[in-house]
Structure 1
Amino acid sequence: MRTSSSTAETERAVTAAGVEVLGVRVPREQARTVWEEWRGRHDRTGWWPYVTLSPPSDATEWHGHEAWDADALERWVGEAACQDHDARAASIVVSACRWAVEEVANVDDDFDLWRSDYDPDRLAPLLAPAVERPLQGVSQWATGPRDFFEKDWRWVNFVAARSGYEVPVLLPRVYTTWGWAGYGDRGLTPLDTSALLRRWHERWGAQLFFANRSYLELVVDRPPLDPRGAAQAAAELRAYCHDTVDDAVKAGDTMARSTVWSLWWD
């Protein structure tokens, strides 16, 4: 991978399952530009870029890779490519709604109000009217002002993948969600994440941009601008990450209609 500097720090690592990860370290303020450049070349190179804080060795060296052998990887990649991602995404929303009503809501709560967070038809009338153009999203962790990581450098890592939605299957700990911790029956798998990311990519042009620990950012090329579309996106975002999307109405009027979706799991 060529960069503007011949002395740029680069690294290569391979997981136990044989997934190769290449990386180049870049100044934080250049990370988005480098990512955009290589995203534009993906059709020719086959390598998907993502921004992170760590070199490829950190993406490939974790205790779970020992069980993630080449045969398991092949099965999961095949299922990710063939699964009905819309149906799987819908089941995640239904499961999240059931969990919220049964485990989180109090007996005195308005259950219809709880359900509206996950039902776009109920949520849409609560949102603001359609906007003419997407809200300009700002990266919080890759390049943006909330740089609590206290690092001036970022890594742009590359994985051979069909698209960004395949990266969580190839590198199952590229980032971690609350659901993956296995609490109750809401444990999410890399295939669940892949289904949601693929759906969001096909419907709204969302692309995996930044992934690190429990932080995820997507660049969204054509976010929904009307209340119904924004309600659909907000409901799915809340089902996936209620730690960040704790107010579906607010998310439907802001994040869902913006060009960057920033999620964080507590």
Structure 2
Amino acid sequence: MTAAGVEVLGVRVPREQARTVWEEWRGRHGETGWWPYVTLSSPTDMTEGRRELGCDADVLEKWVGEAVCQDHDARAASILVSACRWAVEEVANVDDDVDLWRSDYDPDRLAPLLAPAVERPLQGVSQWATGTRDFFEMDLRWVNFVATRGGYEVPVLLPFVYTTWGWAGYGDRGLTPLDTSALLRRWHEQWGAELFFADGSYLELVVDRPPLDPQGAAQAAAELRAYCHDTVDDAVKTGDTMARSTMWSLWWD
């Protein structure tokens, strides 16, 4: 139990079975009310070891209420605009082509630069939940459970479930749990994206209906870049690859 009263349950499973276990319990979410996510952190790690990174019950209740009621599409659009402004005003050099910078965040400018529509989603592969990259080579994973309406609320209930280390967002403002919740909920409703793996500065989403056409892929790529430019440093490449795949893997440096 976290200091704010959020209960976290968990079971340890072999790495190669983590996706299967997650899929089974995702399918039972409507019955159980518990959302599963794969991680390296035990429930004890999440509730005691990171307790100081949490928030009190009153703040959490306020956040959850706002997450339910907020216009997540409008908030996602605001994040995109703010990220574009930050890039053009703070990052672009004097000699840079500002229009090229803007195209990274403007789906209408980005779409013509992408490859034609594909017939079926690209098969995404997990790098961390079931993969062996870097320190993820350990044999076991935790599948943790949180009682919530959907995976998009997990970062609000557990603000420390993963972090966007090393990136202040734009200007001196970082993204809040409500920003993250808005983006995850939008991606869930638009493309069937579901919270799958979360740990440290790493996040993976399983995407059931990724966009296959240039316009949809451009929208996804622009929003992914606004959220995590550490991973999405090339919006065109992302629009042709990850945005059209069944797995979105993000990390913050």
TM-score tier after normalising by the smaller chain length: over 0.9
SS where residue 148 of structure 1 aligns? helix
Provide TM-score, normalisation by structure 1: 0.92
Decide whether the 8 Å contact of 1:182 with 1:188 is kept in 2.
Answer: yes
Identity of aligned residues (%): 88
**Are residue 64 (structure 1) and residue 59 (structure 2) matched?**
no
Partners in 2 of 1:145 and 1:46 — Cα distance? 31
Partner of 2:37: 50
Secondary structure class of the residue paired with 2:76? helix
Q: Distance in 2 between matches of 1:236 and 1:70?
A: 31
Give the match for residue 132 of structure 1. Answer: 119
State the Cα deviation string for residues 222-243 of structure 1 (Å, max 9, x = none).
0000000000000000000000
Residue 261 of structure 1 pairs with residue 248 of structure 2: yes
State yes or no: 1:172 paired with 2:164.
no
Give the letter aligned to residue 169 of structure 1: V
Q: Does 1:188 align with 2:175?
A: yes
Residue 15 of structure 2 is aligned with which of 28, 36, 41?
A: 28
Contact 1:180 1:189 in 2 (8 A): no
- Maintained 8 Å contact 2:207/2:247: yes
Of residues 112, 121, 130, the one that matches 1:143 is 130
Q: Distance in 1 between matches of 2:215 and 2:199?
A: 31
Normalised to the residue count of structure 2, the TM-score between the two structures is 0.96
- Pairwise CA RMSD: 1.3
- The Cα of 1:145 is off from its aligned counterpart by 4.3
Q: Distance in 2 between matches of 1:126 and 1:29?
A: 37
2:214 corresponds in structure 1 to: 227
Does structure 2 retain, via aligned residues, the 8 Å contact 1:28–1:153?
A: yes
Structure of higher RCO (CA pairs closer than 8 Å, 6+ residues apart): 2
SS at match of 2:188: helix
Confirm whether residue 97 of structure 1 aligns to residue 84 of structure 2.
yes
TM-aligned CA deviation for residue 70 of structure 1: 1.4
CA contact (8 A) 1:77 1:166 kept: yes
1: CA distance, partners of 2:227 / 2:243: 13
How many corresponding residue pairs?
A: 251
Question: Alpha carbons of 1:183 and 1:113: their partners in 2 closer, same or farther (altered >3 Å)?
Answer: closer
Match of 1:205 in 2: 192
The answer to whether the Cα contact below 8 Å between 2:218 and 2:239 also exists between their aligned partners in 1 is yes
Listed as ranges, the gaps of 5+ residues in structure 1 are 1-13
Q: Residues 27, 147 of structure 1: CA spacing in aligned structure 2 closer, same or farther, 3 A cutoff?
A: farther
**Structure 2: 5+ residue stretches without partners:** none
Q: Is the 8 A contact 2:73 2:182 kept in 1?
A: yes
SS of residue matched to 1:22: strand
